[in-house]
Structure 1
Amino acid sequence: MALKKHLEALSVFQLVLTFLFFGAFFSVLLVYLLLTSYWLISVLYVAWWIFDWDTPERGGRRCDWMRRWRVWELHRDYFPIKLVKTAELPPTRNYVLGSHPHGIICAGAFSVFCTEATGFSRTFPGLRPSLALLARQFHRPVYREYMMSSGGVPVNKRSLDFLLSGPPGHAVAIVVGGASEMLDSAPGEQRVHLQRRKGFVRLALQHGADLVPVYTFGENDIFRQIRFPEGSFARRFQLGFKQLTRLAPCLFSGRGLFSSSSWGIQPIAAPLTVVVGKPIPVPLRPCPTKDEVNSFHALYVEALTELFDAHKESCGLPASQQLLVT
């Protein structure tokens, strides 16, 4: 039992290291190799990188065997992570899934949409899930291959248009709140940034893809974060950095790798429940009007709130807990 717990902790730790350092590590490694007798490795990879540049925006290159690695089952069991289905999602349609909240590392969304540890393909047969990630993540050497293999795609129009213009059966998950939501994540917080974010609704209308709300209960509980007061210099720096780079410079902490009583960057083992809601039927509108976008956005906010209220008590929240939509 102790060995299994250690393996679970290591499986989560490797994902945190990947999230924080994988891209930077291989960027530095390629530069280092270029200055040594192994320079040919760097040259060949860069040549491949240039040749393969458009692949992430053309559906990526997933590897189903990688999505079924045993390490992802250990990752699931560490928290643990559970997938809850509330309605059928027939593979005769395409879907835009709004995933909330972002948290620090989207642990729940990654497990459900980038691995088969929670059994997405068994739960929703015929659907091909993709998790849309920050586009510049796919400009990082080797990291791009890793994320594409798991089913990650860039969250830009060209990439999402490619998937949703194809045959039915695609389920594209977009973490709508992004870096702004990441800066606000903290244990006990149930806040989503949604009111001004309507691009995913417009995208769904342009392709006639049904909208599906998804909420991960517990996502904000796996890390503590130092949050600076609004208007403070530190907060303004965070917002300015985010605006410039699309990355959120968070100061967060978790627990030690093998000890819950020590400080570290290992996530706290809090249960994560990913609830996939009912689809909102969306008509095909290649050029949707502002009123149409606003109307379906309002329906989506209502559906997400109802989903939250229906499952909050079973996921350990008090009945009085409200979802704050900003």
Structure 2
Amino acid sequence: MTCNISYFHPHGIIVLSRIAIFGGSFEDIFPGIKYRILGASPMFYIPLGRELCLWMGGVDASRSTGEKVLDEGNSIVVYPGGVAGIFKTNPNSKETQLVLKNRLGFVKLAMSHGADLVPTFVFGEKWLYDMWNPPKSVTSFFRKTLGIPVLVFWGKFWWMPKAPAKGKRYGLVYGKPISTEHNDNPTDEEVRAVHSQYVAEIERIFTQYKSEFGYDEDETLAIV
């Protein structure tokens, strides 16, 4: 069985879809596929953060760890964008921004193992919480020194997410897998060719399915 790397977009604030999807439904949708979730490295140094990540099947999101997981025959689930993706979350904007334009590492990782790339879009992730960004000087300090985001967010009861508004719903759509040929030393052109296929599939998913989840017709997707 070919290993795959599933990328979930957008990152959102605390990627609550991890709990919704990996609370048991992943095994029902993809029986027999063993996977690990890659979590941001700083999470493993925060009190209780490491335990939470491990409980959810998470491992450090370093290149070496990703290589090891794939070498063991497991698949990988990633929420790309990191801290930058968190601050691109805006529940009131008509434009959903994905931090993806210059992210090529995941393509190289897939190609080094001949793994499939599975584009996945989580509709409604941006509506789970309201948020307020502190002054940029504050957020920049914590991002540079600790590598963690600092922002204020709230749902129905603080961290409890809000229910979808009337006419809207939460859910995700898996895209068509993008196959890669095993290549330990791909050229920049080869990497960007696969990356372009990936971006095109994410854009197709958003455009084709956004109305089914309550997104307005004039809502757009931006790759930044």
TM-score (norm 2): 0.89
Q: How many residues align?
A: 218
**Equivalent residue for 1:18?**
none
Which of the numbers 238, 251, 265 marks the counterpart of 2:139?
Answer: 238
Q: How does 1:203-218 map to 2 (within 5 A)?
A: 203-218=109-124
**Equivalent residue for 1:154?**
60
Residue by residue, what CA displacement relative to the aligned partner does 1:156-195 show, whole Å, maximum 9, x if unpaired? 012111111122xx33111111111111212144211110
Distance apart, 1:273 and its partner CA: 0.5
**Equivalent residue for 2:14?**
105
Distance apart, 1:211 and its partner CA: 0.7
Q: How does 1:56-95 map to 2 (within 5 A)?
A: 92-95=1-4
Counterpart amino acid of residue 180 in structure 2? V
Residue by residue, what CA displacement relative to the aligned partner does 1:128-164 show, whole Å, maximum 9, x if unpaired? 2322111232234654234223211111012111111
**Equivalent residue for 2:174?**
276
**Equivalent residue for 1:176?**
80
1:320 partnered with 2:221? no
Question: Relative to total residues, which structure has the larger helix share, 1 or 2?
Answer: 1
Q: Is the 8 A contact 1:205 1:285 kept in 2?
A: yes
Q: Of the two structures, which has the highest relative contact order with CA contacts closer than 8 Å and spacing of 6 or more?
A: 2
Distance apart, 1:312 and its partner CA: 0.6
**Equivalent residue for 2:150?**
249
Which of the numbers 266, 272, 286 marks the counterpart of 2:184?
Answer: 286
Residue by residue, what CA displacement relative to the aligned partner does 1:13-70 show, whole Å, maximum 9, x if unpaired? xxxxxxxxxxxxxxxxxxxxxxxxxxxxxxxxxxxxxxxxxxxxxxxxxxxxxxxxxx
Distance apart, 1:254 and its partner CA: 2.2
SS in 2 for 1:314: helix
**Equivalent residue for 1:145?**
51
SS in 2 for 1:211: strand
Q: Which deviates more, 156-165 or 142-151?
A: 142-151
Stretches of structure 2 lacking an aligned partner (at least 5 in a row):
none
Which of the numbers 7, 23, 29 marks the counterpart of 1:123?
Answer: 29
Q: Is the 8 A contact 2:42 2:146 kept in 1?
A: no
Q: Is the 8 A contact 2:42 2:148 kept in 1?
A: no
Distance 2:3 2:100 in 1: 22
Q: Cα 1:236–1:202, aligned 2, differ >3 Å: closer, same or farther?
A: farther
Distance 1:284 1:182 in 2: 32
TM-score (norm 1): 0.63
Q: Is the 8 A contact 1:110 1:131 kept in 2?
A: no
Distance 1:192 1:280 in 2: 19
Q: Is the 8 A contact 1:99 1:109 kept in 2?
A: no
SS in 2 for 1:215: strand
SS in 2 for 1:279: coil
Counterpart amino acid of residue 86 in structure 2? M
Q: CA-atom RMSD, angstroms?
A: 1.8
**Equivalent residue for 2:193?**
295
Question: Relative to total residues, which structure has the larger strand share, 1 or 2?
Answer: 2
Identity of aligned residues (%): 28
Distance 2:153 2:51 in 1: 27
Counterpart amino acid of residue 96 in structure 1? I
Distance apart, 1:290 and its partner CA: 1.3
Q: Cα 1:166–1:196, aligned 2, differ >3 Å: closer, same or farther?
A: same
Distance 1:209 1:188 in 2: 36
Which of the numbers 58, 69, 74 marks the counterpart of 1:163?
Answer: 69
Q: Is the 8 A contact 2:36 2:69 kept in 1?
A: no
**Equivalent residue for 1:24?**
none
- Structure 1 outlier segments of 4+, above 3 Å: 139-143
Q: Is the 8 A contact 2:119 2:201 kept in 1?
A: yes
SS in 2 for 1:312: helix
Q: How does 1:182-193 map to 2 (within 5 A)?
A: 182-189=86-93, 190-193=96-99
Distance 2:46 2:129 in 1: 25
Q: Is the 8 A contact 1:109 1:216 kept in 2?
A: no
Distance 1:187 1:304 in 2: 20
